[in-house]
Amino acid sequence: MAFPIDHLFTVTTDREVARAALADMGFELTERGEHPGRGTSNHLMFFGRCYWELLAIDEPGPASALLGKATTLMGCALRTGDAARDAAAAARLGASAGATEAVTRPVRVDGQWHTARFTIAPLAPAAPADVYFFFCQHLTPELVWPPERVVHPNGAHRLKA
């Protein structure tokens, strides 16, 4: 099974300091987004069909466990068209895949507020990893992905491994 990377994320305890540092390095970031009920907020940086999420823990909650680690790459979302199907397939191959979960967050597009919707499914590889993997199914991709290519002042245009 091979899945494209949907997005990567980094967790920080000070979103605004991290946002300013990334902007100073020449990255174009989205305005602040929030994840209602999760106690987290974010800024995104788009690179073609992938993005990097700067995630901040604003309130104690399930995501607080990520705070014990340094500000570094913390997670990788794998793009899928069907999170439940692909989590079940991964489980058949020996990965520990969790139940799907509906996630929403408000987004502003052209000055209007909308609700972006996703279905995610956690995925724990058979071997231990320090990175959180999960399947991410965008149910409203038009609300998340910009219609035009984002141009970063520093010239960055893709993430490459």
Q: Sketch the domain layout of the chain as residue ranges.
A: 5-144
pTM over 0.75: yes
Task: Determine whether domain 5-144 maps to CATH 3.10.180.10.
Answer: yes
Q: State the average pLDDT over residues 60-84.
A: 76
Mean confidence (pLDDT) of the chain? 86
- pLDDT at residue 135 tops 90: yes
Q: Higher-confidence residue: 37 or 52?
A: 52
- pLDDT at residue 24 tops 70: yes
- Any idea what DSSP says for residue 45? E
Q: Contacts by 61-67 with C-beta closer than 8 Å and gap 24+?
A: 62/38, 63/11, 63/38, 63/39, 64/39, 66/11, 66/132, 67/11, 67/13
